[in-house]
Amino acid sequence: MKRKSLSLIISIVFLITTLSGLLQSTTIKIGSIAPKRSPWDDALRILNQKWQEITHGEVELQIYPGGIAGNESDTLRKMRMGILGGGVFTNRGLTKIYPDIYVLNIPFLITSHQELDYVLEQMKPVFEKEIEQKGFKIIIWSTVGWVHIFSKDEVLYPEDLKKHKLSFTTGEPELEQAWKRSGYQIVPNDLKDLMMALQSGMVDSFYLTPLVAASGQYFPLAPNMCSLKIAPVVGGIVVTQKIWDAIPQQYKEDMLKATQQISENLNQDRTKLEEEAIETMKEYGLKINEVPKDAVIQWKKAAERGIEVLKGKVFTNEIYNVLKHHIDEYNRSNEKKDRIEDSPPI
């Protein structure tokens, strides 16, 4: 009898321990606009594998790719309601949490990968603090690539784009009005509906990174890509602070190390991936329209007029000045470096 009682007690303790572990497990539902099999979708699946290994299965990701959970605004709304635990956002989506992040996407202001890396490194602490104050935690920063205009017919000058019906992400009334006041035909449209809009003729142009244009198979219906890099797209994976707080503390350091490695891998591969995407699209009929110098000047003047409209409305003057300071700081540092490297040996 004693042996049976002891066995029963051991069984009960084992059952309680097992159930306790199951009850404490955390499934984080992640909404993502990134298409299936895209680099960011792959990164999420790798992250899920790493986190499960680190937490012994106590934390796992349930991923809803390709806009299944809705657009970025829908994803954020569902996170606030507790339906989703996290989401993959571009900087446009991040602006719904903290509007000043939009400064990273100002056309022709940041002009190289190196400049972007420097600026982002300087400004991330400010952005992360503000995001956390809103009840969210950004666990991965990722530079997605550079926005280009894809169109049915060739676009070299700003006037060329005015002849096209341009797909424009919904939910940005100030930006929408700025485009319209400049004479462009804007058609509000979500990324998940872009293919249908292109097929129906509702739109005949869009602006996306080459990686997204390729992975979403949008380019065959808008087979001209303007060579001019408009702006970088900076994205990230965000979870609610409530979800992050529910994760056992002993795992968090290793989890963040894993996310940092995945972020670095994504950023290191971005140029190669972008080049490969462009070459693949060219094989299937994409034409690269080289922009002449006088067109570049016209695009930049148009962008400057847009900045004046958006300052103080879409983003604050203060954050714009901080960004400009870091860009100037980077350029001064590199000009000095170039002078030292170019100077003749003594």
E strand residue ranges, the chain: 26-32, 59-64, 86-89, 136-146, 148-151, 165-168, 185-188, 205-208, 224-226, 232-240, 287-289
Q: Tens of pLDDT along 126-138?
A: 999 999 999 999 9
Q: How confident is the model at residue 257 (pLDDT cuts 50, 70, 90)?
A: very high
Q: How confident is the model at residue 177 (pLDDT cuts 50, 70, 90)?
A: confident
Specify the DSSP element, H or E, that contains 189: none
Q: CB burial class (10 A; 0-12, 13-18, 19+) of residue 3?
A: exposed
Q: How far apart are CA 104 and CA 125, in angstroms?
A: 14
Specify the DSSP element, H or E, that contains 222: none
Q: Residue 337 has what pLDDT?
A: 56
Report yes or no: 233 and 209 within 8 Å, Cβ to Cβ.
Answer: yes
Report yes or no: 108 and 137 within 8 Å, Cβ to Cβ.
Answer: no
Q: How far apart are CA 67 and CA 48, in angstroms?
A: 19
| Percent of the residues in the chain that have a pLDDT greater than 90, as a whole number | 55
Report yes or no: 270 and 71 within 8 Å, Cβ to Cβ.
Answer: no
Q: How confident is the model at residue 342 (pLDDT cuts 50, 70, 90)?
A: very low
CA angle 161, 167, 173 (to 5 degrees): 105
Tell me the average pLDDT of the chain: 86
| Tokens linked to 7 | 């066995």
Q: How far apart are CA 260 and CA 190, in angstroms?
A: 30
Q: Tens of pLDDT along 218-254?
A: 999 999 999 999 999 888 899 999 999 999 999 999 9
Strand order in the sheet with 224-226: 185-188, 165-168, 205-208, 148-151, 224-226, 287-289
Which of the pair, 306 or 336, is modelled with greater confidence? 306
Question: Quick check: 263 pLDDT over 90?
Answer: no
| Tokens linked to 14 | 């084992």
Range in 14-18, 37-41, 94-98, 242-246 the model is least confident about: 14-18
Report yes or no: 139 and 247 within 8 Å, Cβ to Cβ.
Answer: no
- Domains located in the chain, CATH noted: 26-341 (3.40.190.170)
Of 222, 90, 249, 99, give the one whose Cα is nearest residue 151. Answer: 222
